Amino acid sequence: MTQAPERYIGGGVPRKEDPALVTGRANWTDNIKLPGMLHVSLLRSPYAHAKITSIDVSAAREQPGVVAAFTGDDLAEDWDKNPQANPAAVTGYGMSLDQRVRQAQEGGESSVTDTPETTGEQPVDEKTRTFVSWIPTDDTKIPNHWPVARDEVNYAGDIVAVVVATDRYKAQDALEFIEVDYEPMEPVVDVEAAVADGAPLVHEDIGTNESFTWTLATGDIDDAFNRADVTIKERYLQQRLIPNAIETRGVVANPDAITGGYTVYSSTQIPHILKYVLAVYCDVPEQQLRVVAPDVGGGFGSKLNVYAEEVIALVLARKLGVPIKWIEDRSENYLATIHGRGQVQDIELAATSEGKILGMRVNLLADMGAYLMLDGPGIPILGAFVYPGVYTFDAYDFSVTGVFTNMTPTDAYRGAGRPEACFAIERIIEALAREVGLDPVEVRRRNFYEPFDEPTDTPAGIQYDSMNMPMVLDRVLELADYEGLLEEQRRRRESGDPVQLGIGFSTYTEICGLAPSQVLAGLRTGGSGWETAKVQMLASGKVEVITGTSPHGQGHVTSWSQIAADALGVDVNDVEILHGDTALSPYGRDTYGSRSLPVGGVSVHLAAQQVVDKARKISAHMLEAAEGDMEFEGGRFSVAGSPDQNVTIQDVAAAAYMNYDLPEGMEPVLSEEVFWDPPNFTFPFGAHICVTEVDTETGFVKIRDYFGVDDCGPVINPIIVDGQLHGGIAQGVAQALYEEAIYDEEGNLTTGSMVDYLIPGAPELPKYTLERTVTPSPTNVMGVKGVGEAGTIGAPPAVINSVVDALSPYGITHIDMPASPWKVWQAIQDAQGQEAGTRDADLSGRPSQAADSTDTEGGTDS
Amino acid sequence: MRRIQMTVDGRAHVAEVEPRLLLLHHLRENLGIGGVHTGCNTTSCGACTVHIDGESVKSCTVLAVQADGHEVTTVRGIMENGLWHPMQQAFHEAHGLQCGYCTPGMIMASISLLKENPDATEQEIREGLEGNLCRCTGYENIVKAVQLVQQHTNGQPA
Ligand code: FES
Ligand code: FES
């Protein structure tokens, strides 16, 4: 008899990735050593904005161990070989803009066709060198982005020269012998200053600091504001963040003597996209390029890009004919790897006196930094679709202007546009609650969608897949004992406790599962959103799964094994997952945007199902039964009604491999490949409560508890999902309380090290109390939604709402992120100064050590 | 160049090194121990943590010449009789790692944390690991892993 099959999906299968990682045997890019390999060091501009008046690398060439040294001009023709090709910008990964426009028009997508000047003309000169793929409008201004600057540097960190030497120390030493004369120019280091009249221009040839303006409008927004009983206008700042994957970036480019091509190993999230862009940028035939993402030590969006250093390594490998290695220093990582966030958000709400939202206006300034990176312009646009959040209303008006500044370029950082959106709506809903005199829980309830499990229209013109907000909110209120917390808060307020209690909410949704390719085309992302998987059973009955996703901590090897093992009815340890090497998996759309499970994992499931379908036919043939009579359970096909007549899927795999007795016309082996393009995104949702203790005397915020009820649909591996939430919430808490990239007036990054930039350590982060509900997505057969960014999106408003709630007796209604002790303390001082007039205002200039002489509301002295 | 001799993971190594060479780079580049990771080179992240004579040290704060004559243990040298060290096992069981880049340093720091304070409270564990940054896990499961080892050591079921 067949025994009950082991089901892996939903179980906490221990990670298959771990053995190599806990024993120090992983294969990081920096562990790769090849015979004859040379090392690259890069000289970077100390100026945020300057002309290079002269540059001389000849003395560097004379240094011990140095093999070569180059300026930007020396290398210019190495990436200028292909006069037609403008990598991402014009071709959009293989599709001309022309084609994209046409496809979008045929598909009826509005964001391209609504632009009146759509002519199909290329928005950039084909000679423009750029890494940008997502070009939001026809008139997007795209600056030249040379991998090594030629006559001008535009941010502190821009590369100006390259040294190649026999080891890293020697390459580094030689940098000191490069002579560069700069003529400093006035930098622009503030996104608002950049759009003011008379602002210095980051790129003079472009003639403006505004790269693009992109809009989205639904419903009658003026009518909504005319009808409103209350209107609220707020401004929020999204500080720049530095992703700080603990493994920095690195690349090794190896000329292949046999094929005449190249293998590029890179610490990247996107080997497939990288391969295409490198091929075009450097004019290496794509079929002669192989890109490998070895073990990758975290990404968070920062390795979802094509970087100058990858291009430099490849052209040097071609030029010098030897393997070339570049490993990023942490200090370079701060300057030269993309930053995240960097937005000024103006948001307005129109509502009734009952707290029902009627309409919303959003105006953003988005800091692009000095150049446009792969998806940089698209980040605020991704956010545009979730500003309405978990609330339904009639009219929505959104606009974003992308702005050049003389700072590190920005792009995707965990959440990418959606944490910004979630923060804005979840903050302004609190303002609405205050305005109409409702509890923040109640005002949310009044605007929630009725629970739904089929695609439902939203104010942003897209369709959410499934949602049940009352359920997650009710559960998190129970979990946190909201009533008990309110009681404690009352007590502390009444007794004038110097440590006040804050209760902060966040009810969020976000966009996962990037993405339907047609929608991506309509948005002009320059990319496609399908994913692929190949499931092959070997002669021995073991299984190989080839996936186009590229994990860097997410545990795909384990989760994909669970999916395949369940579908095929085999042991999870009999499945191997192959990924991250374009020679193994020529196709793939890689890992970002919480897409891997809802697109890539689903593809594994679909391919495994196809293997089962074929195996079923063969099993019927083997047992001389009708295909329709075959039952499949626990990896065994049996004939309905006579369970003794059966074969295992491993037997079938062997028969399929041997190919001497298969059904007429059937091809040998069990190997099926699927390319799956999802019909919609997926939308996880949840409700979080952050409980803070705010010391009003020191401004210090302690997160006492963090409760979350999240719904990402059915869960493949609860251990991994919890881990994603822990890490995601941690990065959200980090934005709310600790992290900020700060530039001085000259454009120097003053938080350019782990000492100055406050990455939270174990003592700074709370323990989490998490639960889940399960609302399947109708977008895919597995019902799965994705979870990689949920925590980072949900957490910041929960934390800030909590801090503001704790301080509400002072009349404090907002504190910008990060809510550092100094900022909190200052807000209290300001609030008291306003209340008490000049007496306390005189104290406001005192340093924080003087806190003992200030009065809190309850009159407590310490 | 200076001639140095040290025992690394139980094996003696003699090398000629520049006086400025960091122990971290000596282990990685000269001895090929890729299980010691570089995160910052500036004593901030803890990814490079090893034991010198049983004490946990960030190997980027030590010059190779300073380790002359000493015994260095990396994450590759803590298995016993072919079995994982209990801390390695606990990180696996508690899902105390995601990308795994901080993990060798985290494991080495955790081992010496419990050696110094076997009954460390949760808060003490968190503070003891302050010098080791992890960007993936939010630390919750790292703390759990250390507690798992405490439970095993105290003979309680995990
Ligand atoms: S590499 Fe040594 S502490 Fe970061
Ligand atoms: S597991 Fe990725 S940094 Fe800790």
Cβ–Cβ < 8 Å for A313, A40: yes
Q: What are phi and psi of A263, to 5 degrees?
A: -110, 130
- The verdict on B31 and B10 lying in the same domain is yes
B100 lines ligand 2 (CB under 6 A): yes
Q: Cβ(B52) to ligand 2 under 6 A?
A: no
Residue A856: is its pLDDT beyond 50?
no
Amino acid identity of A671?
Answer: S
Distance from the alpha carbon of residue A247 to the mean position of ligand 2, in angstroms: 9
Contact A21 B97 (CB under 8 A): yes
Residue A128's pLDDT band (boundaries 50, 70, 90)? confident
CATH number of the domain residue B121 falls in: 1.10.150.120
Final residue of a structural domain among B76, B99, B122: B76
Residue of A21, A246, A722 lying closest to B39 (CB–CB): A246
User: Do residue A329 and residue A348 come from a single domain?
Assistant: no
Q: In the prediction, which pLDDT does A281 show?
A: 87
- Expressed in angstroms and rounded, the spacing between residue A659 Cα and the centre of ligand 1 is 56
Whether residue A518 lies inside any domain: the answer is no
Here the tokens at position A508 are 């969020």
Q: Closest residue of B to A295, CA-based?
A: B99
Q: Cβ A24–B75 below 8 Å, yes or no?
A: yes
Closest C-alpha among A473, A207, A194, A119 to residue A344: A194
Note whether A22 contacts B103, CB cutoff 8 Å.
yes
A672 and A684 fall within a common domain = no
Predicted confidence (pLDDT) per residue in A527-549, tens digit: 899 999 999 999 999 999 999 99
Which residue's structure tokens are 């937005």? A343
Count of other CB atoms within 10 angstroms of residue A666: 12
Phi, psi of B70 (to 5 degrees): -105, 170
Q: Is the pLDDT at A393 greater than 70, yes or no? A: yes
Would you say residue A223 lies in a domain? Answer: no
Q: How far is the CA of A726 from the centre of ligand 2 (A)?
A: 12
List helix spans (H) across A624-693: 649-658
Residue B81 falls within a domain, yes or no? Answer: no
Percentage of residues in chain A having pLDDT higher than 90: 88
Structural domain includes residue B100: yes
Same domain, B102 and B39: no
Interfacial B residues in 8-47 facing A (CB < 8 Å): 18, 20-21, 28-29, 32-42, 44-45, 47
B132 lines ligand 2 (CB under 6 A): no
- Please report residues of B whose CB lies closer than 8 A to that of A767: 122, 140
With CB atoms and an 8 Å threshold, state whether A247 touches B104: no
Q: Does one domain contain both A608 and A757?
A: no
Ligand 1 neighbourhood includes B22 CB (under 6 angstroms): no
Residue A857 has pLDDT above 60, yes or no: no
How far, in Å, from the CA of B129 to the mean position of ligand 1? 13
- pLDDT-derived band at A83 (thresholds 50, 70, 90) equals low
Whether residue B10 is found in the same domain as residue B70 = yes
Of B20, B49, B76, at which residue does a domain stop?
Answer: B76
Q: A12 vs chain B: nearest CA distance in angstroms?
A: 10
Name the residue range of residue A328's domain: 32-185+247-297+303-336
Closest-CA distance, A283 to chain B, in angstroms, reads 33
Average pLDDT, chain B: 96
Contacts of B34 in chain A (CB under 8 A): 24-28, 30-31
Domain containing A773 — which CATH number?
Answer: 3.30.365.10
Residues B41 and B94 in one domain: no
Which of A17, A726, A763 lies at the smallest CB-CB distance from B137?
A: A726
- A627 belongs to a structural domain: yes
CB of A243 sitting under 6 A from ligand 2: no
Residue A523: inside a domain, yes or no?
A: no
Q: CB of B69 closer than 6 A to ligand 2?
A: no
Residue A11 placed within a domain: no
Q: Are A250 and A29 in contact (CB under 8 A)?
A: yes
B47: CA distance to ligand 1 center in Å?
Answer: 5
Atom of ligand 2 nearest to the CA of B106: 4
Evaluate whether residue B35 is within a structural domain. yes
Cα end-to-end distance, chain A, whole Å: 76
Report chain A residues whose CB lies below 8 A from the CB of B104: 22, 24
Chain A: residue whose CA lies nearest to B86: A22
Q: Is the CB of B139 under 6 A from ligand 2?
A: no
The domain boundary, picked from A657, A676, A695, lies at A676
Which of B32, B95, B126 shows the shortest C-beta gap to A762? B126
Instruction: Name the band, by pLDDT with cuts 50, 70 and 90, for residue A846.
Output: very low
| Beta-sheet strand order (sheet of A630-633) | A630-633, A636-639, A642-648
Q: Does residue A842 register a pLDDT over 90?
A: no
Residue among B45, B134, B142 to mutate when testing ligand 2 (max atoms within 8 A of CB): B134
Which atom number of ligand 1 is nearest to the Cα of residue B44?
A: 3
Residues B18 and B68 in one domain: yes
Statement: residue A850 has pLDDT above 90:
no
Residue B121 belongs to domain spanning: 86-153
CATH code: domain of residue B13: 3.10.20.30
**Mean per-residue pLDDT of chain A:** 92
**Are A651 and A711 within one domain?**
no
Per DSSP, the residues of A733-774 read HHHHHT----B-TT--BTT-STTTS----GGGS--EEEEE--
Instruction: Tell me if A264 is assigned to some domain.
Output: yes
Q: Do B127 and B62 fall within a single domain?
A: no
pLDDT in tens, A246-295: 999 999 999 998 889 999 999 999 999 999 999 988 989 999 999 999 99
Mutation for testing the B interface, residue in A18, A167, A302 having most B CBs under 10 Å: A18
Return the H-helix or E-strand segment holding A727.
helix A718-737
Q: Which residue among B34, B97, B140 places its CB closest to the CB of A18?
A: B97
First vs last C-alpha separation in chain B: 51
The structure tokens listed for A790 are 């949920």
Q: Are residues A374 and A496 in the same domain?
A: yes
Higher pLDDT, A97 or A553: A553
- The least confident of A129-143, A194-208, B36-50 is A129-143
Has residue B158 been placed in a domain? no
Residue B15: name the closest of B82, B86, B63, B75 by CA: B63
Total tally of structural domains belonging to chain A = 3
> Do the bridges between strand A543-547 and strand A531-537 make them parallel or antiparallel, or are there none, so unpaired?
antiparallel
Q: What is the mean pLDDT of residues A682-702?
A: 97
Query: Are B105 and B141 part of one and the same domain?
Result: yes
DSSP state for residue B28 in the 8-state scheme = I
B97 CA → ligand 2 middle, Å: 6
- A198 within some domain: no
The sheet carrying A159-165 orders its strands as A66-71, A159-165, A38-44, A324-327, A250-255, A262-266, A289-292
Closest residue in B to A13 (Cα) is: B93
Q: Are B62 and B101 part of one and the same domain?
A: no
| Same domain assignment for residues B138 and B110 | yes
> For the residues A688-716, what does the mean pLDDT come to?
97
Determine if ligand 1 sits within 6 Å of the CB of residue B45.
yes
| Together in a domain, A617 and A757 | no
- pLDDT for residue A835: 56
Same domain, A491 and A424: yes
In this structure, the answer to whether residues A698 and A773 fall within a common structural domain is: yes
CA closest to A22 among chain B residues: B88
CA of B51 to the centre of ligand 1 (A): 14
Choosing from A676, A693, A727, the residue where a domain stops is A676
Q: Are B71 and B92 in the same domain? A: no
- Cα B103 to ligand 2 centroid, rounded to whole Å: 6
Based on the fold, state whether residues B19 and B67 are members of the same structural domain.
yes
Q: Among B76, B101, B131, which residue terminates a domain?
A: B76
pLDDT at residue B154 in the model: 81
C-beta atoms of B135 and A248 within 8 A: no
Contact residues on chain A for B158, CB-CB shorter than 8 A: none
Of the pLDDT bands very low, low, confident and very high (cuts 50, 70, 90), residue A833 is confident
Handedness of CA A546, A548, A550, A555 (dihedral sign): negative
Is the domain of A704 the same as that of A834? yes
pLDDT digits 0-9 by tens, A785-828: 999 999 999 999 999 999 999 999 999 999 999 999 999 999 99
Q: Say whether A754 and B91 touch across the interface (CB within 8 A).
A: no
Tell me, in angstroms, the distance from the centre of ligand 2 to residue A553's CA.
8
Is the model's pLDDT at A837 over the cut of 90? Answer: no
For ligand 1, whether the C-beta of B58 sits within 6 Å is: yes
CA distance B31 to chain A (A): 12
**Looking at beta carbons, which residues of chain B come within 8 Å of A327?**
38
pLDDT band at A589 (very low <50, low <70, confident <90, very high): very high
Shared-domain flag, residues A558 and A587: yes
Residue contact B100–A26, C-beta within 8 A: yes
Is residue A574 within 8 A of residue A542, CB to CB? The reply is yes
CA distance B76 to chain A (A): 6
Distance A456 CA to ligand 2 centre (A): 38
Whether A595 has a pLDDT exceeding 60, the answer reads yes
Q: Which atom of ligand 2 is nearest to the CA of B97?
A: 1
Please determine, for residue A3, whether its predicted confidence score (pLDDT) is greater than 80.
no
Number of domains making up chain B: 2
Any chain A CB within 8 A of the CB of B103? yes
Domain shared by B13 and B70, yes or no? yes
Same domain membership, residue A652 and residue A754: no
Residues of B in contact with A27 (CB under 8 A): 34
> Are A479 and A620 part of one and the same domain?
no
Please provide the DSSP assignment of A306-335 as one string: --HHHHHHHHHHHHH-S-EEEE--HHHHHH
ipTM entry: 0.97
**B95 — contact with chain A (CB < 8 Å)?**
yes
Instruction: Give the integer Cα–Cα distance in Å for B25 and A855.
Output: 54
Distance CA A691, CA A733 (A): 12
Note whether residue B126 is domain-resident. Answer: yes
Query: What is the domain-level CATH number for residue A280?
Result: 3.90.1170.50
pLDDT grade for A6, boundaries at 50, 70 and 90: low
DSSP A450-510: PPBSS-EE-TTSSEE--B-HHHHHHHHHHHHTHHHHHHHHHHHHHHT-SEEEEEEEEEEE-
B136 lines ligand 2 (CB under 6 A): yes
Closest CA to A41 of A62, A69, A64: A69
Q: Is residue A521 assigned to a domain?
A: no
Q: What is the pLDDT of residues B6-34, one digit of tens each?
A: 999 999 999 999 999 999 999 999 999 99
Tell me: the pLDDT tens digits for A448-503? Answer: 999 999 999 999 999 999 999 999 999 999 999 999 999 999 999 999 999 999 99
What are the φ/ψ torsions at residue A347 (nearest 5 degrees)?
-135, 140
Say whether residue B65 is in contact with chain A using an 8 A CB cutoff: no
pLDDT score recorded for residue A77: 86
Boundary (domain end) residue, out of A676, A692, A724: A676
